[in-house]
Structure 1
Amino acid sequence: MKMAASCVCRAVLSQTLNRFRSVGRDLIRISALHRTHLDHSRESVTGKRSACWVKISRHESGRNFQNSQRGGGGVLWAAVAFSLFSNSDEDQRDEAQRKEDEMILLLKKAKLSLIRGQLQAASSLLHQAVALAHQTHNNQAIIYTYSLMANLAYVQGHLDQAEKLFKAAMSFMLSGGTPQDDNAVIEMSLKLATIYAEQNKTELAEHGFRFCMESLEAKLDKQKDVPAEEHTEEQEALRKETRLLLGLCLDSRARYRASTRHLNQAGQDYLNALNICRQEQGETHPQTLVLMSDLATILDLQGRHDDALVLVQQAMDLSRSAGHPDQHVLLGNLAGILLHKGQLDDSVRFYQEALSLARQAGDQEAVDRIQEGLKEVKKRREEEAAEE
């Protein structure tokens, strides 16, 4: 049971690690729900079931009846009683199977609704699924569905509801024997810290980030003590997963620190996250490029425009060669830095290129931000003309 729960926790954790990315000050990002795995097999949600039924054939019943005529009635009644209990048990199993199948169907429908952007429909379907999970006392399914509901509530901006759902999921995980330093528990703790940061609950946010960082660093220190020749594939996968989660924590804390204008600390967190991403995912990985752009944004805010420009141009060159899916985001950052440097013509050129790509990608929020940047360029030009 504990192993099955751990598998579900891993599925929940993979929702974050597969999208190890940044949400920088001026950037639009992919929502957490893009990585929800709603189409798990039945075994991954509920665990394997055995079906061992005992049935009494008509021939056997007749023989038992003959035996009862010769004083063997006890055998008949035992068989009849067993048959009745077996049928009852089978009915219960059939009902449990029906509810399980219905729950899986609801999760699949919820996934389809999310893909279509029908968030209210997805929320309704997930509520129905979690009700079935409670009816069947399926803690693994409860944890899994609560985590999806929490992510959805967060995306919808319902922070109080998201907080309660994450706490509920964590409660079921911990009561089921999941260790407090399990990566899935830490990942949910990180989401709670992010929620507290958005709610301006400074003490809770800082405590949450500190717990996540210290727990992950302690795990990585323990893993270093294991001789290289004793490392298994599973241990290596866990090491990489833990480092990526540490990178995500650094990324999240950097955003929080930037929002509170602690730019030096934010820059250090971004740099550490960038180093982890480079080492684990490679120089041209989309997340590496996003982190380079985010770090450039911090440098720009610190007035280090030349350093910021070098870094974001490097990210742009790599993104073009690698076919980065969010080039318009990087171009927008590049245009903003050029604006701050006073290179207005170059800024407009890159803003327009970013605008075209953002429209092609259907990224309306990025479109809005780029248009704001173009308005700022226009304002700067008018100010310069007035001074002349």
Structure 2
Amino acid sequence: MKDEPEEAELLLHGALRLAHESGNKEAITYTYDLMANLAFIRGQLENAEKLFKATMSYLLGGGMQQEDNAIIEISLKLATIYAAQNRQELALAGYEFCISTLEGKVEREKELSEDTLSVEEKANTHLLLGMCLDTYARYLLFSKQPAEAQKVYEKALQIAEEILGERHPQTIVLLSDLATALDAQGRSDEACVHAQRAADLARQVEHPELHVLLSNLAAVLMHRERYTQAEEIYQEALTRAKLKRDEVSVQHIREELAQLSRQRSALL
């Protein structure tokens, strides 16, 4: 949290040594998981892959089933690693395993009474399915498959609205992402409706990523050649991004404004 990953890694190696010395399998598994997440955040994908696999091995060796949510979460992270490494077959297999396993699990859990499985536990499984769908949709969009991404985003959005409500920050992001998938297909009118709705809701709840959502709306408006409105929203997004000190977004918005200016000039 203090942005000292090297120190964190040294502490985790110490923790792992102590866990092995005491023969505490739960501590070993927990520490491997923390180390894997740290490597993943730092972009050390090969190391993260090994550590996630070690974590999964310990969990399965301890009797955990493949459809357990903890196994699914690790499988999703592995699929994301494979996608980043362009190991497409493994990435697809990972996403399909996570989604199909959870879809079956959600259906089976519907039949269970609250005495057997709590409402909260059922909701957690359903939300994990939504997370998997969201991640897979982003992969499809990045892979230039916007029509397929749209279908998956719609499923993820339906789950988020049902479990979290339409004003939840994650639901709002999914709504904006769905707009991006529609816009990538040239369906800018539909995209604009969703992007505007996402921006309106984001303002109401003071969404922490409002500048990103406004930038997405401005991009859709630019594609509809509504340049004046797009520029106004880009400028607001830029101001908010600077306040957030989000340098990546600041750079992106400036590039979009330059592109907008070029497109405007071409019409004169």
Q: How does 1:78-157 map to 2 (within 5 A)?
A: 115-157=1-43
Aligned to 1:321: 204
Structure of higher RCO (CA pairs closer than 8 Å, 6+ residues apart): 1
User: Per-residue displacement from partner, 1:189-234 (whole Å, max 9, x unpaired)?
Assistant: 01111111111111111111111112111211211223xxx31385
User: SS of 2:231's equivalent?
Assistant: helix
- Are 1:306 and 2:192 an aligned pair? no
Out of 176, 183, 191, the residue aligned to residue 62 of structure 2 is 176
Instruction: Report percent identity of matched pairs.
Output: 47
Moved more, 143-152 or 247-256: 143-152
Note the residue ranges of structure 1 that are not aligned, 5 or more in a row: 1-114
Check 1:382–1:319 CA distance in 2 against 1; reply closer, same or farther (3 A cut): same
**Of the two, which has the highest radius of gyration?**
1
User: Per-residue displacement from partner, 1:154-192 (whole Å, max 9, x unpaired)?
Assistant: 121111111111001001111111111110001100111
- The answer as to whether partners of 2:82 and 2:88 remain within 8 angstroms in 1 is yes
Q: 2:242 and 2:116 mapped to 1: Cα distance?
A: 43
- Are 1:286 and 2:174 an aligned pair? no
Aligned to 2:178: 295
Q: How does 1:28-107 map to 2 (within 5 A)?
A: none
User: SS of 1:181's equivalent?
Assistant: coil
Question: TM-score scaled by structure 1?
Answer: 0.67
Q: 1:280 and 1:247 mapped to 2: Cα distance?
A: 10
Aligned to 2:253: 370
* TM-fit CA distance, 1:350: 0.7
Note the residue ranges of structure 2 that are not aligned, 5 or more in a row: none
Q: 2:242 and 2:227 mapped to 1: Cα distance?
A: 22
- Are 1:331 and 2:185 an aligned pair? no
Q: 1:349 and 1:126 mapped to 2: Cα distance?
A: 48
User: SS of 2:118's equivalent?
Assistant: helix
Q: 2:87 and 2:251 mapped to 1: Cα distance?
A: 29
Check 1:283–1:121 CA distance in 2 against 1; reply closer, same or farther (3 A cut): same
* TM-fit CA distance, 1:383: 2.4
- The answer as to whether partners of 2:147 and 2:182 remain within 8 angstroms in 1 is no
Q: Which amino acid aligns with 2:72?
A: I
Question: TM-score scaled by structure 2?
Answer: 0.96
- Are 1:246 and 2:129 an aligned pair? yes
Q: 1:355 and 1:302 mapped to 2: Cα distance?
A: 26
Aligned to 2:72: 186
User: SS of 1:143's equivalent?
Assistant: helix
Q: 1:233 and 1:346 mapped to 2: Cα distance?
A: 54
